[in-house]
A and B are shown apart, each in its own frame.
Chain A
Amino acid sequence: MNLTWMAWTLPTAVFFITILMLLCGMAIWEYVSPGGNPRVGVLQFETTRGDRLFLSLLGSAFIHLAWLGLVGPNLWWALALSVVYAIGVFRYV
């Protein structure tokens, strides 16, 4: 199968494989502990594990964009900040 039209690069492939692994991880987590673990956190409304992953990914995208726009092109710090943010979301939201 010729996939050159999709213009793959190693970093984007790593990015999508990471997302896929996260989704697989969530599926296994759901299999082991069904129900999505709904709870009311700091946002004052009910969220499930899926909601928390969505918030983590969306928030991380905006953290990276904000870093690019306000600080500069070195995104490793933005990545570190996103990991801290995601841990915070899974712990408190």
Chain B
Amino acid sequence: MPDTNSSKENKPEVVEGTIERTRNRNLYSPRADIIETAEQYLILADIPGCSEKNVHVTLEKNVLTINAVTTSSPPTGGTLILSEYGTGDYYRSFVLSDQVDQENIEAQVKNGILRLVLPKAGPAKAQSITVKAG
């Protein structure tokens, strides 16, 4: 299941020009794991600072897109001494294959991790057939 945005660094910034933005905030590509089990695909994406109300997952023409907006803000009146990460919004898209049952995708956000469960469509599911005595 290829994705349209390959990234190796820690929360890399999406390059200007690939996505046009109207919000004046940084845009990051969240780190994601893609795991396949016998019955489903699983995508886990790190989106710290976002709750489930601020995450939008859309599926259109086999492209699954994650859009998340952070609500955290730096403390008021504070001076920044050390900054190792930036805060901003998250965007990442994946191209799904026909092996995914697109009607039953589930999404869940907990502790700043987005968990997408993509069940496998019928023929790809590993099925064991019980053998009956006849």
Note whether A and B form a binding pair. Answer: no
Q: Which residues of A contact B (CB under 8 A)?
A: none
Question: Measuring CB to CB, which residues of chain B are less than 8 angstroms from any residue of chain A?
Answer: none
